[in-house]
Homo-oligomer: A and B are copies of this chain.
Amino acid sequence: MSETISARVAELGHALPDPSTPAANYVPWVRSGNLVFISGQVPLKDGQCAYVGRVGEELDVETGRKAAQLCALNVLAHLAAAVEDDLSRVVRCVRLGGFVNAAPGFGQQPVVVNGASDLMVEVFGDKGKHSRAAVGVSSLPRNAAVEVDAVFEVL
């Protein structure tokens, strides 16, 4: 593995987005003890929400999966800030929460959220294997297709 999170992500053909700055009285991440809690991320790219609408209606499942991956890249951008981009300080991904903008009856949240889960394992190997909850929600900020929050254990 590479020594930095951003280089590891680049090796996989992705780029870390610029970490977003919340326009409100909260912060992208908080460290408490060895846990880093990362705020819910929508699929921002260059400051725009790149995937808008309901998965299973306006967007197909594969597109939802890509949205979840982009959420996860935003999660990693904030994690990198929390550990000074030092890959060796990431003990493991503890938990992902995946919220999918989805209509009643939609049941493929797991496939969608795999876009985030797979990226964690690609980046961190076994340390990327996490617990998770995946649910369908009625709406999301900016009408985003997916939102992902996370907890990591770090050094």
- What residues of chain A have their CB less than 8 Å away from a CB belonging to chain B? 23-30, 32-35, 37-40, 54, 91-92, 94-97, 99-100, 102-110, 114, 117-118, 120-121, 128-144, 147, 149, 151, 153
- 13 new A-B contacts at CB < 8 Å, known A26-B132, A99-B135: A24-B118, A29-B131, A30-B92, A32-B92, A33-B33, A39-B132, A40-B135, A103-B104, A104-B138, A106-B143, A134-B141, A137-B137, A138-B138
Q: Taking the full assembly, how many copies of this chain does it contain?
A: 3
Chain B residues positioned under 8 Å from A23 (CB to CB): 110
Are B37 and A131 in touch, CB under 8 angstroms? yes
Chain B residues positioned under 8 Å from A27 (CB to CB): 129-131
Are B130 and A147 in touch, CB under 8 angstroms? no
Q: How far is the CA of A121 from the CA of B26 in the complex (A)?
A: 8
How far is the CB of A51 from the nearest CB of chain B, in Å?
A: 13
